[in-house]
């Protein structure tokens, strides 16, 4: 890990405070096995390249990985959260926000002005989360997913 790389430490909610401090960082090659196990839709080689390109974020409590974000770039220039995931038993405990904050700060430093994300139209909880952290709905693509389920897209300005 480069010494200039930002790392965020945040005391999490009451449940997590007994475990330790949350640490968010860019993924490293040592994380590849965990990433392959948790992100089953992406090939190991692609995940390795994404780690090397600083497109994977990892959240840790102690030495345990508890959150993950995979970044893509639409049209090779627009940052897009293709996956954000927190371990099921820790969801709703404040882990997603510091992951997002780390990403926003990282993207601002790279000169980006906005961030995109999406959720299936039938996923109410992820849509609520997007809105609660400042994303605004910006469109829907009907029938994009398996079973004809649409995808709602969100955009967040990074100023």
What pLDDT was estimated at residue 20? 55
Q: Cα(68)–Cα(84) distance, rounded to whole angstroms?
A: 6
Q: Show pLDDT as tens, one digit a residue, over the chain (159 residues).
A: 443 444 444 444 444 444 458 999 999 999 999 999 999 889 999 999 999 999 999 999 988 999 999 999 999 999 999 999 998 888 888 899 999 999 999 999 999 999 999 999 999 999 999 999 999 999 999 999 999 999 999 999 998
Instruction: Report CA Rg, the chain.
Output: 16
Question: How crowded is residue 34: how many other Cβ atoms within 10 Å of its Cβ?
Answer: 15
pLDDT, position 83: 95
Distance CA 153, CA 141 (A): 8
Q: What is the pLDDT of residue 94?
A: 85
What is the C-alpha separation between 20 and 110, in angstroms, rounded? 30
How far is it, in rounded angstroms, from Cα 76 to Cα 73?
Answer: 5
What is the token pair recorded at 35?
């990433």
Three-class SS state of 108: helix
- The pLDDT, as a whole number, for residue 15 is 44
pTM of the model: 0.85
Q: Phi and psi at residue 72, in whole multiples of 5°? A: -125, 175
Q: How many residues does the chain have?
A: 159
């Amino acid at each position: 890990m480069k010494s200039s790389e930002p790392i965020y430490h945040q005391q999490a909610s009451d449940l997590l405070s007994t475990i330790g401090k949350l640490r968010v960082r860019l993924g490293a090659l040592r994380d590849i096995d965990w990433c392959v196990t948790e992100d089953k839709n992406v090939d190991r080689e692609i995940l390795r390249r994404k780690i090397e390109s600083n497109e994977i974020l990892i959240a840790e409590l102690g030495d345990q990985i508890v959150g993950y974000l995979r970044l893509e770039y639409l049209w090779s220039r627009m940052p897009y959260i293709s996956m954000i995931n927190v371990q099921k038993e820790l969801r709703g405990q404040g882990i997603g926000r510091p992951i997002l904050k780390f990403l926003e700060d990282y993207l601002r430093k790279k000169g980006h002005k906005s961030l995109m994300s999406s959720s299936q139209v039938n996923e109410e909880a992820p849509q609520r989360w997007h809105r609660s952290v400042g994303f605004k709905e910006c469109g829907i693509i009907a029938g994009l997913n398996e079973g004809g389920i649409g995808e709602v897209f969100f955009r967040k300005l990074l100023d």
